Amino acid sequence: MVNFLAASNRAEEFQIGNERYQQGAYEEALQHYYQILSDGYESGALYFNIGNTYYKLDQLGKARLYYERAAKFMEGDESLTENINILRLRLVDQIEPPPQFFLSAWWQYAINFLPLNALIWIEVILLWLVLILLSIRIYYRSRGRGTRLSLPYHTALVIFIAATLICIQKIYNLETERHGVIMKPSVTLFAEPKQGGTEVFVLHEGTKVKIERQNQNWFEIRLEDGKTGWLEGDHFEII
């Protein structure tokens, strides 16, 4: 898919959908938004508006799904984050992550603090800074003026290495991690991938889960609090 803003007719379709949304004609708004998706176009704003529309229709599972899809394009957006938090307050499952060791918590914060595009730009700037400082140091050495700029150079180098590690981890997470949203009013999770097994817990519509592995049409999922269980693929949609 490509960004629909590159096509003027799709931008017009998006505007009509927004007008229908403002008029309270939510089903009609969805028709226009889905027309854009069916034509192979996407954007964070489009997914965000679809999420808003489903929220107005009180379909919290689909609202959460499209908000999370929007987050892939609008990472760190305040309006999106606020809407997700408001939606989460309405969910049946109020899942809290367990306390983390402070170094682990700091590392996760560093990874999620900036969007990938911003991290890449910072990486480029830091690389140029390190190369410039290195060149100046080499110049001073060739002139017999000692190791000037040693502290700024090593400081910039350490920051560059740390930013590189954060960037690599963020890219790895984006490429390997899969998440989904529960779409049914309630679903039972089992200790193994089969019906009739030991029931471990129940989840409700709108809950976000992390997909650990797959066995045919069964998926092992993990919650933020660390609980795991198996459920069938038709109970959730992948973000």
- List the single range of 15-24, 106-115, 158-167, 185-194 with lowest mean pLDDT: 106-115
pLDDT higher than 60, residue 1: no
Range of the domain at 145: 102-176
Do 188 and 171 share a structural domain? Answer: no
Using the predicted structure, report yes or no on whether residue 175 has a pLDDT greater than 90.
Answer: no
Pick the closest to residue 118 from 77, 176, 178 (CA basis).
77
What CATH number has the domain bearing residue 212? 2.30.30.40
| Whether pLDDT at 4 is above 70 | no
Average pLDDT for residues 82-106, to the nearest whole number? 87
Q: Which of 160, 176, 192 is the last residue of a domain?
A: 176
**Residue among 231, 168, 167, 171 at smallest CA distance from 201:** 231
Question: Is the pLDDT at 177 greater than 90, yes or no?
Answer: no
- 6-20, 118-132, 178-192, range with the lowest pLDDT: 6-20
pLDDT on residue 10: 82
Flag the least confident range among 20-29, 76-85, 109-118. Answer: 109-118
Q: Are residues 187 and 230 in the same domain?
A: yes
Q: Which of 24, 22, 20, 79 is nearest to 48 (CA)?
A: 79
- Domain for residue 97, yes or no? no
In degrees and rounded to multiples of 5, residue 124 shows phi and psi of -65, -45
How sure is the predictor about 6, in pLDDT bands with cuts at 50, 70 and 90?
low
Is the residue at 114 inside a domain? yes
Return all residues near 87 (Cβ < 8 A) that are at least 6 apart: 55, 60, 63, 64, 67, 206
- Does 95 reside within a domain? no
Q: Does 96 reside within a domain?
A: no
pLDDT band at 186 (very low <50, low <70, confident <90, very high): very high
Counting the structural domains of the chain, the total is 3
Range from 3-17, 142-156, 186-200 that averages highest in pLDDT: 186-200
Domain annotation covers residue 56:
yes
pLDDT for 100 beyond 80: no
Mean pLDDT of 95-120: 80
Per-residue pLDDT band at 192 (split at 50, 70, 90): very high
Give yes or no: residues 149 and 136 share one domain: yes
Last residue of a domain, one of 44, 60, 89: 89
Please indicate, yes or no, whether residues 135 and 202 belong to a single structural domain of this protein. no
Residue 94 counted as domain residue: no
Burial class (CB in 10 A: 0-12, 13-18, 19+), 216: exposed
The per-residue pLDDT for range 119-174, each reduced to its tens digit, is: 899 999 999 999 999 888 888 887 766 666 788 888 999 999 999 999 999 888 88
Q: What is the tens place of the pLDDT at every residue in 217-234? A: 999 999 999 899 999 999
List pLDDT tens digits, range 36-66. 999 888 899 999 999 999 999 999 999 999 9
Residues 133, 157 within the same domain: yes
Residues 66, 25 share a domain: yes
How far is residue 104 CA from its own chain's centroid? 19
| End position of a domain, from candidates 45, 63, 89 | 89
